[in-house]
Every structure is written in structure tokens, then in C-alpha cells.
A = this chain, B = another copy of it.
Amino acid sequence: MKHTLIGLALSVLPALAQAPQAQPAPPPPVISPEVHPDSTVTFRFRAPNAKDVLLAREGAQRAPMQRDEQGVWTITTAPLEPDLYGYSFIADGVALIDPSNHVMKPNLLGTTSMVHVPGPSSLPWEISNVPHGAIHRHFYKSDVVGDYRDYYVYTPAAYDPAAKKIYPVLYLLHGFSDDARGWTAVGRAHVILDNLIAQGKAKPMLIVMPLGYGAPEIVTRGGTGLRDPNLRTRNYDRFRDALLTEVIPQVEKTYRVAKDRNSRAIAGLSMGGAESLYVGLNALDHFAWVGAFSAGGASEDYNATFPSLDAKTNGQLHLLWIACGTEDRLIEPNRKFRAWLASKDIRHVDIETPGAHTWMVWRRNLAAFAPLLFQVKGT
């Protein structure tokens, strides 16, 4: 742009900040988070009159921050393993988003901030200079649920709607209090698949990420919704119906995808893991690949929940992959479920990893699970 642009720009550019007029000067901004070369991270938060500020970081115990004379609270962590971490500041008991950081970990019951501690490009969630797929957001009015909702679709880099090639599909479900954005905005599913596909480790596939609530009031009512058994039942059943009768038909009409059970997988985390087991194992006509990451919310009366599941289904079920972190409170229910599967001679893969009920576990789960999918003849 010509140098002559500069004169006016100096006078009007401050007006571009979309701020109301005539405010007192705000206090100087703080830098937060600051990721240091040794992978320690400094968090800073200005709260001059707070009495107590803690850092709540995903997967870690809360840690007190220290106040300086300007009213800025600070903490520097030990070196962190390269990853993405959700965090918030607990100021006098209230969880707050870091106002200096625009990177969010969206969540319907408690959005937090997120910090990226970068690592080598060999980590599956690090963005690499490989061909990138795209993320598509679709909207529709659900007759099953009665609301206006969305779902996201990842298409791999080579996907071409004008070409003849068709792709298998992984239906990937978020957890309680997340929404359909979770697996991309936090889970980086698109980055993970871009990398695995470019390395030849995973088959090119689509990933469909629907909204995982059949009864959205289970979230909007907060904790009380979870304690209503009728609401929970309706949540699972209507989710199943919306997936099978609305989302899958729309996807299979819109995209160039294979429409047979060998070409459909279903997996999810936490509540989405329970949904994957409940929906997938009761619809083997639809799915031949099932995964559950830190699943929770399924009954221990497995005979009643999965009435038609027995050793005869081994021929249909190409993969049943059950993963949980050993520090997750859900590890025992997962072990019980795997013991029941073993008692019935139902073939499955047991995965126990380090970690708690966190996205650090689930990104690694996806990176380990996706390469196993669709690796049979004819899919």
C-alpha cells in the first residue's frame, strides 16, 4: 500500500478496536500464558483485590498463585510434557478464563483457556507441513430431538466430491458438557488424521462429529439433569435415533462414502464412549468397529444392556477397543466391563494408559485407534 496511507492511519487506527468511547485507561496488559523454551509455563492474572487465586490445570492438582505488589498473580509450572492443556484461574472460588489468552477450550458448562506446549512434529497433534483436510459444519432441524443442531465432518486432503473414490467413516463422539466442536477445537482430530494419513499410518477416512445429546436439557440443567433417570434414558435413546436416522443418512447423501457396516466405525470419549458401546454394539448391522475412550455412564448389568452380544458376534465385530487412563476414576468400571467381555469370549482390545479423565489421554487414544480402522479386505 502506498506510503501516503500512513497519515490518516495513525489517527484512525485506534478507532478500529471496537471499544466504547471515553473509557479510563485500562491497567497495562499482562502476558499469559508464557511458554518458556524449557517447557515450563508462566501464568499471570491481574486481580488486585482477590484474596486467593489458584491455577486449575487439566490433569493437575490446583496450585496457589502468588500476588505481586501490582495485584498480578503468577505461577510458573515445572516443565510440562508437550501437549495442549486446559486451565482456568480460580479467584476467590470462581473459575475464570484467562483474559490475556484468546485460545479457548470450549465447554458448555465451563469454557476454560488452553495453552499449547509445543513438541516435536512426531507428536500426532502437532501441525505439520502435510496436506490438510477440511472441516465442514452442517446445520439441520432434528425431528427426533426437536432442536436446531449441527454436526462437523472432517474430509481428508485427497477427498474430492467430483471423483469416484469413496471413503469409510468414523463417527466420533464428544463427552458430557462438550459439544460438536470438541473433537476439533480441543481434540485436534483433523490434525491427528492429517498426520496419520500423510504418514501412511491410517487409511484416508471421513470423521463425523455429531452433537452427542438426545436430550440437551441434560446439560442446560447442569448437574441436576444428570440425576434424572428418565432424562438420562431419553438422552441416550434419542441420541441413537438422531444418529441413525438423521445424521448418517444426511452424511451418506452429502459425501462420497461407503455405506456398508465394514466402512463405519463409532467411538467416543466418556459419555460418548458409553454411547459408542450402547449404540454400536446394539447396531452391528451399522458398525463393525467400536471404540470407547474412558467410557462412563453405562450400566453394570451388561447382559441387559447388550442382550445380543456374545462370542458369535466376534465374526462381525472387526474391532472392539476399550481404553482408559489408570488415574481415571472410571478405570474400575472399565475393567469390570472388559472382564464381562472376556467372560463371554467377546474379542476386544484392552488398553490402559497413564493419565486421568483428560483430553491429553483422548488425543493419544484417537492417534492409537484410528490406524486400526478399516484395515480389512473390502473396506
Task: Name A residues whose Cβ lies closer than 8 Å to a Cβ of B.
Answer: 1-10, 12-18, 20-21, 23-24, 26-27, 29, 46-51, 56, 58-62, 71, 91-97, 99, 102, 104, 106-111, 127, 129, 132-141, 148, 161-162, 175-177, 190, 222-223, 226-227, 229, 232-233, 236-237, 270-271, 278, 296-301, 304-305, 328-330, 333, 356-358
Contact = CB atoms under 8 A, between A and B. Distances in A.
Contacts of A102: 106-111
- Oligomeric state, in copies: 2
What 10 pairs between A and B have smallest CB-CB spacing? A5-B299, A161-B161, A4-B301, A132-B139, A16-B176, A1-B236, A4-B304, A15-B329, A135-B137, A6-B229
21 contacts: A2-B301, A6-B232, A6-B299, A7-B301, A9-B229, A9-B298, A12-B296, A13-B176, A15-B330, A15-B357, A16-B296, A18-B177, A20-B56, A29-B222, A49-B49, A96-B97, A99-B110, A133-B139, A134-B137, A134-B138, A135-B137
B12 A330 contact: yes
Contact of A237 (B1, B15, B26): B1
Contacts of A304: 2, 4
* Most central of A9, A190, A223, A278 by chain B CB within 10 Å: A9
A226 B56 contact: no
A15 B27 CA distance: 39
Contacts of A109: 17, 102
Contacts of A16: 175-177, 226, 270-271, 296-297, 357
A96 B99 contact: yes
A176 to B, nearest CB: 4
Nearest to A50: B49
Contacts of A95: 26, 99
A20 B60 contact: yes
Contacts of A137: 134-137
A138 B135 CA distance: 7
B229 A298 contact: no
Contacts of A17: 109, 176-177
Contact of A1 (B99, B110, B233): B233
Contacts of A133: 139
Given A17-B176, A97-B97, A102-B108, 7 more contacts: A1-B305, A2-B304, A3-B233, A5-B232, A18-B107, A48-B92, A50-B50
